[in-house]
Amino acid sequence: MFKKGSHSMTKTIMSSIGGIAIATATASTAALASPSLTPKTADYNFIADSKYTGTATRSLTKSGNTWQYTVDAKAGGIATAKQRSTFKMSGNRVIPLTASTSYKVLGLGRTHDLSFGADGTTVKSTYRGKTYNFSAPNRAFDDLSLEAQIRQDLLAGSFTGDYTMVKKDNIEKTPFKKVGNYSITVPAGTFDTVRVDRIHDDNARSTSFWLAPSLDYLPVKVVQNNDGKQMEMTLTKLR
């Protein structure tokens, strides 16, 4: 479990948990008859640096054509992280509406809020009392609506690997690539998966996602390396 004094590591872990991040998209619109995401709730375990452990729950729900994706994570009783994202769907296009990320470590924390324009091409980012307004002609996404878009692209066969992420004070393009198909075993069972890697511009960082087609490409395993420190998340239960 986390030890007192591990503030820096805990903050890194908690900011990574919600960000099973797969970053934003210039997504092509496929036929309306393409398979679509379905609501699911999933529980995960994670371990960082071979010693820090925690749990996370990810839940995708739907009311009419408004979707909500949430992540709640905790580590060792001293750190928590929460993410909320709401979006609509138009065919295979995810249109983000609002998003919020907050974390607390030893009682101290931060919140990052995002508000998107009606067509997703403008976004307002508020963090630590500062507000930034961006124009994103190809649409911009928060972490969770982006994950939903990439999963929908995979379902529709329109995954491009060309994505863009909204940060606190800028919009950042980040490419992804399919690596291959793998059968992997996690606490929730054995799944056939597609591995998708985020391409970093820093050789000291790597991020890999194993996404299960049978679960609408829900992540069943995530491994992230950052300057020699590794975080691994695995699916423990669907409900």
pLDDT of residue 111: 93
pLDDT of residue 147: 92
The predicted pLDDT at position 34 comes to 67
SS3 state of residue 145:
helix
In this model, does residue 94 exceed pLDDT 80?
Answer: yes
Say which amino acid occupies 14: M
DSSP 84-106: EEEEEEETTEEEEEEEEEEEEET
Please report whether residue 32 resides in a domain: yes
Residue closest to 100 by CA, chosen among 145, 55, 151, 66:
145
State the burial class of residue 161 (Cβ atoms within 10 Å of its Cβ: 0-12, 13-18, 19+). middle
pLDDT for residue 6: 43
Query: What letter represents residue 230's amino acid?
Result: Q
Confidence class for position 22, pLDDT limits 50, 70, 90: very low
Nearest-angstrom CA–CA distance, 98 and 145: 9
Average pLDDT in the 129-157 region?
Answer: 91
Residue 18 included in any domain: yes
Which of 173, 233, 223 has the alpha carbon at shortest distance from 195? Answer: 223
pLDDT for 74 beyond 50: yes
> Residues 176-214: pLDDT tens digits?
999 999 999 999 999 999 999 988 888 788 899 999 999
* pLDDT exceeds 60 at position 126: yes
Residue 183 lies in a domain: no
Residue 20 lies in a domain: yes
Contact 217, 38 (CB under 8 A): no
User: How far is 22 from 197, CA to CA, in rounded Å?
Assistant: 9
Q: Is residue 203 part of a domain?
A: no
Domain limits for position 163:
7-175
Nearest 10 degrees: CA dihedral of 146, 204, 179, 85? -10
CA distance 226 to 89: 34
Among 217, 72, 106, CA closest to 151? 217
Residue 25: per-residue pLDDT:
30
Q: Please indicate whether residue 226 or residue 151 has the higher confidence score (pLDDT).
A: 151
Domain assignment present for 41: yes
Answer yes or no: are the C-beta atoms of 217 and 151 closer than 8 Å: yes
Provide the number of structural domains found in the chain: 1
Residue 127 belongs to a domain: yes
Residue 94 lies in a domain: yes
